[in-house]
Amino acid sequence: MSKTVREYYDRNAEKEWERLVQDPYRQLEFIVTAHFLDKYLPKKGLVLDAGGGPGRYTIYLAKKGYDVVLFDLSAECLREAEKRIRSARVKRRVKNVVQGSVTDISQFGDESFDAVICLGAMSHLLGRKDRDLAAHELVRVAKKDAPIFVSVINLYGVFRTVLQRIQHELLAPSHKQMFSQGVHRASWHKDEPDYQGFPDAYFFRPAELQDLFERQGIQILDMATCEGLSSHLKEETNKIHEDSKKWKFWLDLILRTCTDPAVLGLGEHFLYVGRKV
């Protein structure tokens, strides 16, 4: 991973902790992901949270009785995680907190984990070689029959975000490679001296992520759009949350439909669930 990625998350560690709970719309990513974790995780065991940042999923899993190893590139995110882990009183369940890149998890032996989650980190690997290497490593450390959960930023969702939020940048040279190859580079904003926006990133199509793990011999179990039918409807989603009955109905509908291929390609993030065979 590039220096820009580490610096971005070092700078935004607390913000990253808050991101998944900042409003009902953003909560959907966590709610949908947790739904599939609950569905496919074994009843107990040791879980690797690769690229787990400030530890929100680590704490969620620890509270449910899993042992967890948290692994992330950002030292500041890991410091934030350690603080949050202490506050949540789950330190005994968090067996280790380790700094490093998902392209090199060689400190963990083959088949060390009963499950592996990697929620976001793959979207910061620009080169196919690095993506292949990370996928290989995530599979290598998983035990036979272990579930593997990987979420990434959706390419077509990014296209919709540009249309929705920054139309004035639609034809900007800095977005040319993103529209043609799914690549965003922070260095393209070098003429903006105060630029502190999104770091280097690679945006996936669902079939591409599925193929990446199939090449590692992984059997697909599910794929889901994390924001489901609410994708890019932030204002409307936040409003419906004000009515608890409507929110429950809508949330049930999202969970029932988020795996539909017609919905899968349009969200901001999507989740792949596979099993090592």
The DSSP bridge pattern shows strands 46-50 and 115-119 to be parallel
Cβ-count burial 226-242 (b if 16+ within 10 Å, e if not): bbbbbbbebeebeebbe
Band of pLDDT at residue 108, cut at 50, 70 and 90? very high
Residue 252 in tokens: 């049930």
Mean pLDDT of 63-68: 98
Count Cβ atoms below 10 Å from residue 11 Cβ, excluding itself.
Answer: 14
Helix or strand holding residue 246 (H, E): helix 244-257
Q: How far apart are the first and last CA of the chain?
A: 28
Residue 26's pLDDT is 97
pLDDT in the model for residue 188? 62
**171 falls in which pLDDT band (50, 70, 90)?**
confident
* Tens-place pLDDT, residues 76-100: 999 999 999 999 999 999 999 999 9
Amino acid 196: pLDDT: 57
% of the chain exceeding 90 in pLDDT = 86
Which element (helix H / strand E) includes 207?
Answer: helix 206-214
Residue 200 scores a pLDDT above 80: yes
Domains and CATH numbers, the chain: 3-276 (3.40.50.150)
Distance of CA 261 to the CA centre of its chain: 19
Is residue 143 over pLDDT 90? yes
> Model confidence at 169, in pLDDT bands (50, 70, 90)?
confident
Per-residue confidence at 166, pLDDT binned at 50, 70, 90?
confident
DSSP 3-state of 81:
helix
Residues 208, 212, 213: CA angle, nearest 5 degrees: 125
Is the Cβ–Cβ distance between 122 and 200 less than 8 Å? no
Give pLDDT tens digits for 245-261.
Answer: 999 999 999 999 999 99
CB 156 within 8 A of CB 208: no
Could you give the angle at the alpha carbon of 189 between the alpha carbons of 185 and 191, nearest 5°?
Answer: 150
Check whether 211 has a pLDDT greater than 70: yes
Whole-model pTM? 0.94
Helices 56-63, 75-88: crossing angle, 10 deg rounding: 30
Does the pLDDT at position 185 exceed 90? no
pLDDT at 191: 53
Burial 50-72 (b: 16+ CB within 10 A, else e): bbbbbbbbbbbbbebebbbbbbb
Q: How far apart are CA 58 and CA 48, in angstroms?
A: 9
pLDDT at residue number 38: 98
Provide the pLDDT confidence category of residue 215 given band limits of 50, 70 and 90.
very high
- 184 near 201, Cβ under 8 Å? yes
pLDDT at 148 over 60: yes
> What is the arrangement of strands in the sheet containing 67-72, beginning at the earlier edge strand?
94-99, 67-72, 46-50, 115-119, 147-153, 269-276, 218-225
Res 197 pLDDT > 90? no
Confidence tier at 167 by pLDDT (50, 70, 90):
confident
Q: What is the mean pLDDT of residues 261-266?
A: 90
Encoding tokens for residue 60? 């969620």
Q: How far is CA 68 from CA 59, 96, 255, in A?
A: 9, 7, 26
- Residue % of the chain over a pLDDT of 70: 96
* DSSP one-letter code for 230: G
According to the model, what pLDDT value does residue 152 have?
98
Report yes or no: 107 and 98 within 8 Å, Cβ to Cβ: yes
In the predicted structure, residue 237 carries a pLDDT above the cut 70: yes
